[in-house]
Structure 1
Amino acid sequence: MKNLKFDKTGSADFSKTLRSRVNAYFKSTNTNIYGDRSMVIKTIIMLTVFFLPLIIMSTGLVSSPPLIFALYITSGLGMAGVGMGVMHDAIHGSYSKHKLVNKYVGYTMNLIGANANVWKIQHNVLHHTYTNVDEGDDDINSPFFLRFSPNAKHYWIHQFQYLYIWFFYGLSTISWITTKDFVRLKRYKEMGFFNKEGEYGKEVLKITGWKLFYYSYALVLPLIMIPLPAWIIVLAFLSMHFVTGICISLVFQTAHIVSDAVFPKADQEGLISYDWTVHQLATTSNYAPRSKVFSWLIGGLNFQVEHHLFPNICHIHYSKLSKIVSETAREFNVPYMVKKTFVEALSDHVKMLRQLGRA
């Protein structure tokens, strides 16, 4: 990857004004940027939705295949809720003003089979810094049969990706709990991360240990306790992850892989022709801003613009900040993209997938 950098010569006034207004909002309302009691309540609810079905199955009292599938799928919805509405804020450091609280709540990522430390590099560092930039944003670095950027190499198979991509979205968390963390850990080491003495080896052991712990309670225990053929339990377990993968992929992808987002290309010296703040607005779109229930369920990620500009601020504040950001963007003639509904955002995502498949 090139040593990417942003053009700092323009839009400094916009960035300065925006941050000043956001700071003034928190000061005038006498609130802080972190989560409050509502985040604790959400954490309890999401963890309960995730763990309770697994606990019920582990008692061995449930033997109906349809009920097993229903319990696993319910757990999958809880898993998505933990990922989007709990872990996400904690790993960004916005869940609590206490670092230890953020650290331990961030371990909920490990509890659902992935790894917090690898996610920090993939998401916090690469995605948030180099959004929609080829070879920078790891969220658009995909296998050859998927194309998420007009700057990526085109293959004939991409013309069908809008049809088959849903299957791979569903597989995304299955990949996460098996190989993805190990593959990315190795690649990130080659990029200069995890390069302290012994750090890489320790991280491999930690990842392995957490995954074995996850499999032990999410799959092995039900296999032992439920009086049904193993293939039924395994299939139900996979269905849980398929549901989780679809939910998480659609929430994130509909914010960036859309027709009006830009995909900046760095020049030969690695310079991106945007100020970082404007870059985030040009590559990110909001959707369904008036849907409070939907926003609660997905951890405020329908306000992706605000999240990308202020990842250190808890998502419970994003709906309020969106008014400040949109008004300031309009004042400085900076793009502010928003779709009225999630269905509109999803439709535009499919449109973009088809467009990327043709060229």
Structure 2
Amino acid sequence: MAAPKFQAQKDSFHAELKRRINDYFQEEGIATTGNYKLYTKAIILTVSLLLIYTHLVFFTPASALLGLVECALLGGLTAAIGFNVMHDGSHGSFSKKKRLNEMAGLCLNVLGANEFMWNTKHNVIHHAYTNIDGVDDDLDAGPFLRLCETQKLRKIHRYQHLYFWAAYSMLFFFWVFFSDYQKYFTKKVGAMPLRKMKTSDHITFWGFKVLHIVFFAVLPIYTVGFLPWLLGFLTYGVVTGFVMSIVFQLAHTVRETHFPVAVQPANKLEDEWAVHQLKTTANFATNNKLVTWFAGGLNFQVEHHLFPKISHIHYPALSKIVAQACAEFNVPYHNIPNMRRAVMSHVMHLKQLSRA
């Protein structure tokens, strides 16, 4: 499917939003990138992950239950580093310094996935063509899940609102051990072509894949044995996959969001880009400081999609400006008040799509 075009407007809503956000940063006299709060959080998460990994591999707990609990914590920390460090780094918002952003983005490679593939899938495609079936690769969860009405309905989907948690738990394994390689060898992200890889990109891809296997498979098997490693790694991967999946799904595949279809034969969408983002994206639990801290501000997904190059540290303040502008221009602003309602909205969305 060819990428659709957005409506072009001279006096666009997006331009007015950018003006107001720029005014905010100028008036406050602060940078759009991360600050001491983000760097403190990055240190806490990274040190915590290294300590738990070291304890599991080199000072393995005598209690199997404690070991599995630590594996689950390791999975939660992996997701949190992805949300807070890697995500801002890949968008260039972690720091003013390009090198620090690159190092933050490389966290993804260390943890098993590949930043080059992620940048194309997420930064280029998902952020531009959110919730457009056939273009946004995040909607491609087939054949197990049907995430929008334009996707084929299968018999298995009748129960997707009951088994989705199991599918989400497999995300980490699918991503690290299949999806990255599929993109690498097909040179595509879904139907969209992958940017040509340089020699350094190929070396980085294979080098970090090997390092990940060494640190997360070979070394633990050597120190604790195969079966304990297998149980621990499965626990780690299930927690990582589910946490990452649910955070991203609550932002886009809920009853409140839209799944626009381009008008043919012009292959054009009815809205300008910023309005499209507001219709296809939802915030959730924005008053919950723990969720905001852990999820790297991705519960403020609306602000992130409108201003991806601004660090998530600033999203709570920006949300007030965006909400006010949406009210003035009569543009939808989806904000689900808490996690429980967001999860229920996602479940009801899946249930609705389980039927013809």
TM range (shorter): over 0.9
- The 10-residue stretch of structure 1 (329-338 or 62-71) with the greater mean CA deviation from structure 2: 62-71
Distance (Å, rounded) in 1 between the aligned partners of 2:207 and 2:230: 21
Contact 2:79 2:240 in 1 (8 A): yes
What residue is the counterpart of 2:347 in the other structure?
350
Contact 2:3 2:135 in 1 (8 A): no
The superposition leaves residues 235-282 of structure 1 with CA deviations (integer Å, 9 ceiling, x where unpaired) of: 111111100111111111011101121100112332111100000000
What residue is the counterpart of 2:37 in the other structure?
38
What residue is the counterpart of 1:214 in the other structure?
212
Aligned residue identity for 1:224: Y
Tell me by how many angstroms 1:204 deviates: 4.5
Distance (Å, rounded) in 1 between the aligned partners of 2:280 and 2:232: 37
What residue is the counterpart of 2:267 in the other structure?
270
Relative to 1, partners in 2 of residues 1:338 and 1:191: Cα closer, same or farther, differing over 3 Å?
closer
What residue is the counterpart of 1:180 in the other structure?
179
Task: Provide the secondary structure at the position in 1 that maps to 2:137.
Answer: coil
Task: Provide the secondary structure at the position in 1 that maps to 2:283.
Answer: strand
The superposition leaves residues 271-315 of structure 1 with CA deviations (integer Å, 9 ceiling, x where unpaired) of: 111100000000001011111121011100110000000000000
- The 10-residue stretch of structure 1 (302-311 or 258-267) with the greater mean CA deviation from structure 2: 258-267
Aligned pair count reads 353
Tell me by how many angstroms 1:61 deviates: 4.8
Matches within 5 A, 1:8-19: 8-9=8-9, 12-19=11-18
Task: Provide the secondary structure at the position in 1 that maps to 2:33.
Answer: coil
Distance (Å, rounded) in 2 between the aligned partners of 1:346 and 1:87: 25
Structure 1 residue 236 corresponds to structure 2 residue 232: yes
What residue is the counterpart of 2:196 in the other structure?
195
Structure 1 residue 320 corresponds to structure 2 residue 317: yes
What residue is the counterpart of 2:247 in the other structure?
251
Tell me by how many angstroms 1:115 deviates: 0.7
TM-score, normalised to structure 2, is 0.95
Matches within 5 A, 1:73-152: 73-152=72-151
- Structure 2 unaligned regions, length at least 5: none
The superposition leaves residues 187-223 of structure 1 with CA deviations (integer Å, 9 ceiling, x where unpaired) of: 4448433336xx3x76454323212211212222121
Tell me by how many angstroms 1:142 deviates: 2.0
Q: Sequence identity, in percent?
A: 38
Contact 1:60 1:225 in 2 (8 A): no
Tell me by how many angstroms 1:14 deviates: 2.0
Aligned residue identity for 1:233: W
Task: Give the CA RMSD over aligned residues.
Answer: 1.6
TM-score, normalised to structure 1, is 0.94
Distance (Å, rounded) in 2 between the aligned partners of 1:55 and 1:334: 50
